[in-house]
Every structure is written in C-alpha cells, then in structure tokens.
Chains A and B, each alone.
Chain A
Amino acid sequence: MSLKNFSELFIDLDSSNSTNNKIEVLKNYFLSNDPIDNSWAIYLLTGKNNKRFISGRYLKNLFSQIYEYPEWLIDTCYLKVGDSAEVITLLLKNKSTSRKKKLSNISLNELLSKTIPDLSKLNEEEKNLQIKNIWETLPEDNHLIFNKILTGTFRVGVSIGLITKSISKLINIDEEIISHRLMGNFEPSIDSYEFLINKNINLQELNSKPFPFLLANTFEDKILKHSINDFQFEWKYDGIRIQLIKRSGNVSLWTRGQELVNESFPELVEKMLDIKDDFVLDGELLVWNFKEQIAFDFSLLQKRINRKSPTRSIQIKYPIIFIGYDLIEINGRDIREIKLENRRIELEKYFSKWQIKTKNNISDIFKICDLIFPKDWADVLIYKEKSRENNTEGLLIKKKTSIYSSGRKKGIWWKYKVDPMQLDAVLIYAKGGSGRRAGLYTDYSFALWKDKELIKFASAYSGLTNIEIKELDKWIRKNTIEKFGPVRSLKPEMVFEISFEKIQISKRHKSGIAVRFPRITKWRKDKNINDADSLENAYELMKKMS
C-alpha cells in the first residue's frame, strides 16, 4: 500500500486513451489498496480542491539553489515541457546518489495527511531542507506525483464520471447512485470510502435518480416536406442542459454528463423546494439578463459552473434562471410516454399553478420556455436568423407527437443552429502554448486590412488539427520577423478563415471591434494576403447583424 502504487496508477491512466481501460485500471487499484489510500486517490483524481503548497516558481528556485543550477536553464527547459513539476522531476533524475530510499514505502495517506501538510509548519529554511530531503529519499518514480501534489497541479485525464463508473462497476450499483454519493465535499477518510462502496442503497439516493436525456439531431432538409403544424418550435439556449428533479423534499440538478451540480446553484435548489408537487423537468440553466429578458453569454455561466457554494454577491452578480421545456414526471407518475404536445399542456398547467401557489415568486429563477409559431418554413428561417438578437444559438424543432425516449433518437428532435460569422484574416503573431501544447506555437493573432495596413482583430488557438499545428509551427519558426519574449511577429503570408459568434464595437481594441468565440475554421492556403478581408468588411457584417 504505497505511494508507488499510486504513481503506477497515474502512469497507467496517463498512458491510456480508452475509457474502458481506465475504468478497469481504476477498479483494480481500488481492489488492491487500503480504503484510506483509495479515498485519497479519489480525492486527488477528482481534483475537487487540489491545494497548492508551494508555487511552481518556488519549486524551480529551490532546485536551482540546492543543485547550483542556472535559473535560465530551468526556464529554457520549461518552455519545452510546459509544467514546473515535470521539469524539476526530469532534472532531479540521478541527482541523489543514495541507494537506500527511506521513503520507499511511504503510503499515499502518510504523504498527504502528514508529510506534505507538515511542511507548512516549518520556516522557510527548514521547509527547503525537508523538500530536498524528500527528493533524495523518495524513489525517483514518485517524484512527479510528489512535485505535482506540492504545486497543486496534479491532473490526469480522469473525470468524476470515470471514478463514478469504476466504483459503480466495482460494487455493481447504478452510476447515478454513486454520483449522488460523490456529491459535495469529499473528505478523504476510511468512512467516506466505505460510504462510497456501500452496497445498500437508501431511499434518498433512489429518489435522486435522473432519466436518460433525449438529444436533438442536426437539422435535416427532409423535415421541410412535413407540415409546419406537426412541430413545436423553441429557442435553442446556449446554457447547460439540466434535469431538475424534485422528489420527497429533495431537489437534484443533473447535467448531461451525469454530474450533480446542486452546490453550484444553491439558490435554485432552495426556490424549487417551495413547490409542493414532485416532478422531473428537462431544461436549460442560464445566466439571465433580467432587464432585457435574454440570456447572458455562456462565458458568464462558466463563472458559476465550477464554483461550489457561490457567495451571495456572486449569486447577484451572475443571476441564474432555469428554463424548463419538458415535464417528464409528475407526482411520481412517469409521463415520458405521453405525446410532447400533451406534456406541454401539463407543463403549462403546473407552471401556472406553481406561480400562484408558492410563497416567493418563483419566476425570478424559473420559467418555462416560450414557444415560437412560425407561419411556414420560410418564416422558420427568419426566426433562426433572429436568434442572435436574443442570444440563442438557433431553434429547436420537436415533433408534437414524439414521446420522451432516450439518446440521440432519429426523427423527433432537431437543432437548427445559426451559421457562424466568418472573415478571412492574416496571421501576424504567434505565441508559445503551455501544458500539452508546450514547445509549439499555438496561440495566434489575426489581422484585417485597413488601407494598406494590417490591424489585429482577433486571437484564436483552436480549430487546427495536430498535424496542421505542427506544420504551422515549422512555418512560424522560419518566418519570424521579431521576437518579443514568447511572442513572435510573423511575415504576413498565411490566411485563415476565422469564425465567430458575435461582433460588436469595442473601444478597447485598436481595430474598434470585438468578436466572440473566434476560432480557426479553415487554413486558406488557396488565398494570398491580398484576398483577406478588410476592417470595412467587418463593420459591414456588424451593421448587417444589428
């Protein structure tokens, strides 16, 4: 039961691209280690609150000081590796000559509950000495884990979902139950692990179980053959899909990724408890602009998603709303087999009742989605184009007679998204990436023409394939005009098609415009820089859209 096992687990998880394989590896780890080490492993892997004991910079300085190593050399190495803990691990190789490794058998529990926390009790000098001591008495295979935990950068491609799946497999109990048990703060202890693998399910756990989500397909032209009256039309909101469950006095908010997010949205949970009925709703969670009655950008929602127990001021700054669009269970009765049009009637009926029957006004956090009534298919197109104005992604088209089945079922629900806006722009700057993209130029800036000058208008780093990234990296190195720190200015030669979702006036930018979600959608090798768009084109686009 040692740290060594956990290091091996890390390597196995890190060197596997297969979900099934990872689940198997995790299951075997849990089977062959102590409950207490298992609970620490879960704590680390779910990364719920990886604390930083010392910074990466501190780690580098310390190494430089102990081993009389030039700092600039460590920094050069960092550019290639992209992670301080790993750089130091690689540099530590063969540094200690002592053969006897006192810490060979240290357990994960001892390291995390004693050795590392104890560091904070020491003064700087003692602390440095102790870290050196650990480096030299810990087997080299464990250095990476130690350094990563120390710098709070322990991360591996394992989600809570994967932990959930492997525990579920281990004890043969549904994933939703395990998800529920993993909800909240996971405090590593023997008890918390035993609770997780308890084979007896209690009633409350059963009550929180969600239904499988029904997913929409991409719009198909063949729908046009059908009468418009066969369908229900809704705005497609750009938020998080949520199944909101209230049963026997408990509320659960489930995402499509089978994550319980109650803790991120406590105000919604609280308000829903006011409702007397039990129910399961399908809908979208958004940060809402109450003044204009439209959704805020998804970026604001991101400020809420990853924040457990948000403070009152965060709740006010980023006010959320749940927009329900389907009712699939009511007072213990599963109504998924009822036609959509009838479920809609039920939804509207109950919603009006709840609005009257609750003490506090629920509609400041819960609404049901408005329906749209296009006259014909041409009208549908017009609605679709309008969706930018109310910050939606387009339309959802649902067959009125459809039942609520599961998965991406064909022929019943479609999403009809607006096309992104696009401009062809010239690559002018590149910056090195970090982490997985270390050592490559992967952050790009693009420019548009203004008279004879190229003016920067957007930065993007996604959209190219790995092969294209490598090819472009090579080109960048050969076509650099000047280096400013990590940034290179480049010979204007390469043209890229940049797509984005929104364009607006911005005083902060030299170009006078700002775009949202810019991304590279095509490397226009067929175009030369004179074919790239001008700022004027961008202004025209903006006019057209407003």
Chain B
Amino acid sequence: MRTKQEYLIRYKDGNLYCELADIWIDPSKPVKKALITHAHFDHFTFGCDEYISTEETAILLKERFGDNIKIKTFEYGEEFKINGINISFHPSGHILGSSQIRFIFAEEKWLISGDFKLQKDETCKQYEIVKTDYLISECTFGLPIFKWDDSNKIANDISKWITNSPEKTSLLFCYSLGKAQRLLNEISQTNFKGDIYSHGSINKMNNIYKKLGIDIKDTIKIENKKKIDELKGSLILLPPSLSKGSYLKNFKNIQTAFASGWMSIRALRKRSGYDKGFPISDHADWDGILELVKKSEAKNVFFHHGDSEALSKFLIEKESINVLFFGK
C-alpha cells in the first residue's frame, strides 16, 4: 500500500491537490493553477493565476466574479495534458456546467466526483458514468435517511402549497444558481400558472441560463420589495441569505418555504424557521452515492464534503469496498 504522499491526488492544507501536475481542485485560497468543478461560491476563490473549467462554468464565474479572471476552458470529454497527466471534465449533473474531473497517469485512473446528482434535471447535462480506479466523492447527504423524491413530485407539492393559499404571497427560498433554475423548470410543468417573481441575484442567473439555451420560465425581477405583500397568489424566489435579518419583517401576508435536501428532517425543518420545507437537492442522496461508487467500478474510494464515517463503514462492511482516508 502506498503512503498518503504517494497518491496522485491528496489533501494539502484542506484542499485537493495533484502534486505531479501542481494543480489544485476548487482551492479555498489563491494558488497558481486551479481546476474548478462548478460555479458555486464555496468552490471558488479569488486570486489564482489561472483557472481551468468547462465553458459554462467559465461564463457563470465571470458573471458572478467579474471579467478579469483568467480562465481556460475545455469541453466535456476533451482531454488535456499537464505534466504528462491526462485530465478531462465530465458532466456531474449538479448545476449547469458542473463537472467531475478525471485524471489518468501511467494507466491509473482517478475521478473526482465534484458535487453531483443522478436525479433528473433538465437545466443541466445528465450525470455521466465514468469508470475509474480511484474515486474521490462528495458525501454531503451520506446517510440512508436521505432519499429524494422525484423532482416533479416536489414541484407539484410546491404548486399545491401556493395555490392552497391564494390570499398569501408565497416566498420560496433557494440557492440562486442551479436550484432556482431547476425549480423554475419543474414548476412551469405543474398546475401553477400564476406569476413568478425572482430576486435580482436569481434573475441574473436565469438570464445566463437562457442565453446558454436552457429552457426556463420567464420571471419578473423584484424591483420594489415593498410590493411583496400585494402579490397575492404569486410565487417569489429569493436567496436563503434574505430569510435572516430584516428583509421579511414588514410583510404580513406571506408564507415561506425553503427548498433544500436538509428539509427532509423534521427537526431541521422546524429549526429553520420557515413555514415549510421542500426536500429537493442538487446533491446525490444515499442511494445516489452508492450507485456512483458501484458504477464507477472504483476499487478505492475517498470521501470529502460531509460526514463520511457511517458511509465508509457501510461500504467496507456491506459492500467490501476499500474506503481510504486522506487524513487532514
């Protein structure tokens, strides 16, 4: 068995790092070269000399963080070489442009899942099965209590939630990139035919999605928040950051909900302070993670981004998978 230092990819200062290529994956501090799996805030940091991502991710990053970042882009499946290592992006099904990253060196394959999901999502490319020897997977929802319902069932629940309270304005909180667009796409296929408004930050992302050819429903940008109380029977999409603080204080005629995988647990739902929770996630659930492990045919698996203790123990005991630990 090899020592931690000899792995092609390992943890260094809390980030995934490939020493042979001197390249970092979603680093949390400025480095020379960074591979970016997708355009969420927590996977990006300013100040790297060079970023490498898919075209869609690059467009989203520039829209969110400004034009003056240097990004090299590659298509899904297109291989490029750094220091003799073949690297390629593959769809991870998380949000538009999101990817898994595969490394091949001396016939040894490594796959970083990135944030991923297997569920249907018409606003991004479907997750692609990639075979590998070593798998580094996220496990945000790595417990068997997490099992997602079909997204159209959740969308129908949301539709019912709105139409059952025609006297109220329905405020649905969701991440502005990815989740909001997926919800819009799903909700437009339900019975809810009322107006949908969205916060500026969400509206901005909607426009990029549309520019990139993704079919999502038109929304009206909220220009004057004072009017929210009057928008009876409509749906308003807002980023979760606005649920705290003073934004909601002045509204009387509203009901609130949060769309997140964590909402499948009652204690978390109650604690969240929202009236209602809709469990829908852009991450894989328990079965999704198990399926990834199986289909990737990986002999060795690492987990990060989440509590992996139970998941690792389960794979080792029940599935005889070799789960490895990076250490910190």
Q: Do they bind each other?
A: yes
> Is the Cβ of A70 less than 8 Å from the Cβ of B265?
no
Q: Which residues of A contact B269 (CB under 8 A)?
A: 15
B271 within 8 A of A: yes
A94 within 8 A of B: yes
> Is the Cβ of A15 less than 8 Å from the Cβ of B275?
yes
> Is the Cβ of A15 less than 8 Å from the Cβ of B143?
no
> Is the Cβ of A436 less than 8 Å from the Cβ of B275?
no
Q: Which residues of B contact A161 (CB under 8 A)?
A: none
Nearest CB in chain A: distance from B209 CB, A: 30
> Is the Cβ of A70 less than 8 Å from the Cβ of B145?
no
Nearest CB in chain B: distance from A135 CB, A: 15
> Is the Cβ of B144 less than 8 Å from the Cβ of A77?
yes
> Is the Cβ of A76 less than 8 Å from the Cβ of B267?
no
Nearest CB in chain A: distance from B274 CB, A: 9
Which segment, of B123-131, B225-233, B313-321, faces chain A? B313-321
Nearest CB in chain A: distance from B151 CB, A: 16
Q: Which residues of B contact A14 (CB under 8 A)?
A: 266, 270
> Is the Cβ of B271 less than 8 Å from the Cβ of A466?
yes
> Is the Cβ of A439 less than 8 Å from the Cβ of B267?
yes
A82 to B145, CA, bound (A): 12
A16 within 8 A of B: yes
A438 within 8 A of B: yes
Q: Which residues of A contact B265 (CB under 8 A)?
A: 80-81, 86, 90, 438-439
> Is the Cβ of A81 less than 8 Å from the Cβ of B147?
no
> Is the Cβ of A466 less than 8 Å from the Cβ of B143?
no
B268 within 8 A of A: yes
> Is the Cβ of B318 less than 8 Å from the Cβ of A439?
no
A17, A72, A94, A435: the one contacting B267 at CB < 8 Å is A435
Q: Which residues of A contact B270 (CB under 8 A)?
A: 14, 436
> Is the Cβ of A93 less than 8 Å from the Cβ of B267?
no
Give A12's nearest chain B residue, CB to CB. B164
Q: Which residues of B contact A76 (CB under 8 A)?
A: 143, 309-310
A437 within 8 A of B: yes
- Flag B257-297 by CB within 8 Å of A: 1 or 0 each: 00000001111111101011100000000000000000000
Give A86's nearest chain B residue, CB to CB. B266
Q: Which residues of A contact B276 (CB under 8 A)?
A: 15
Q: Which residues of B contact A438 (CB under 8 A)?
A: 265, 267
Q: How many residues of A contact B (CB 8 A)?
A: 28
> Is the Cβ of B267 less than 8 Å from the Cβ of A73?
no
Q: How many residues of B contact A (CB 8 A)?
A: 24
- Flag B126-149 by CB within 8 Å of A: 1 or 0 each: 000000000000000001111100
A206 within 8 A of B: no
A87 to B277, CA, bound (A): 17
> Is the Cβ of A72 less than 8 Å from the Cβ of B313?
yes
> Is the Cβ of A73 less than 8 Å from the Cβ of B314?
yes
A467 to B267, CA, bound (A): 15
Nearest CB in chain B: distance from A436 CB, A: 5
> Is the Cβ of B145 less than 8 Å from the Cβ of A83?
no
Q: Which residues of B contact A467 (CB under 8 A)?
A: 244
Give A434's nearest chain B residue, CB to CB. B267
A437 to B267, CA, bound (A): 7
Q: Which residues of B contact A466 (CB under 8 A)?
A: 271, 273
Give B149's nearest chain A residue, CB to CB. A93
Nearest CB in chain B: distance from A13 CB, A: 11
A91 within 8 A of B: yes
> Is the Cβ of B267 less than 8 Å from the Cβ of A81?
yes
- Flag B239-257 by CB within 8 Å of A: 1 or 0 each: 0000010000000000000
Q: Which residues of A contact B317 (CB under 8 A)?
A: 70
> Is the Cβ of B145 less than 8 Å from the Cβ of A80?
yes
With most chain A CB atoms within 10 A of its CB, the pick from B143, B264, B266 is B266
> Is the Cβ of A80 less than 8 Å from the Cβ of B275?
no
Q: Considering the complex, which residues of chain A in the window 246-269 have a beta carbon less than 8 Å from any beta carbon of chain B?
A: none
A94 to B265, CA, bound (A): 17
> Is the Cβ of A91 less than 8 Å from the Cβ of B266?
no
> Is the Cβ of A70 less than 8 Å from the Cβ of B314?
yes
A90, A435, A436, A437: the one contacting B145 at CB < 8 Å is A90
Give A69's nearest chain B residue, CB to CB. B144
Nearest CB in chain B: distance from A7 CB, A: 14
Show 17 residue pairs from A and B whose CB-CB distance is below 8 angstroms, ordered by the A residue.
A15-B269, A15-B275, A16-B275, A70-B314, A72-B313, A77-B144, A77-B145, A77-B310, A81-B266, A81-B267, A86-B266, A90-B147, A90-B265, A91-B144, A91-B145, A94-B147, A439-B265
A residues sitting closer than 8 Å to B (CB atoms) are 14-18, 70, 72-73, 76-77, 80-83, 86-87, 90-91, 93-94, 435-440, 466-467
Q: 6 shortest A-B CB distances, which residue pairs? A: A90-B145, A15-B276, A438-B267, A76-B310, A93-B147, A77-B145
Given A18-B275, A76-B310, 11 more pairs with CB closer than 8 A = A15-B269, A15-B276, A16-B275, A77-B143, A77-B310, A90-B145, A93-B147, A436-B267, A437-B267, A466-B273, A467-B244
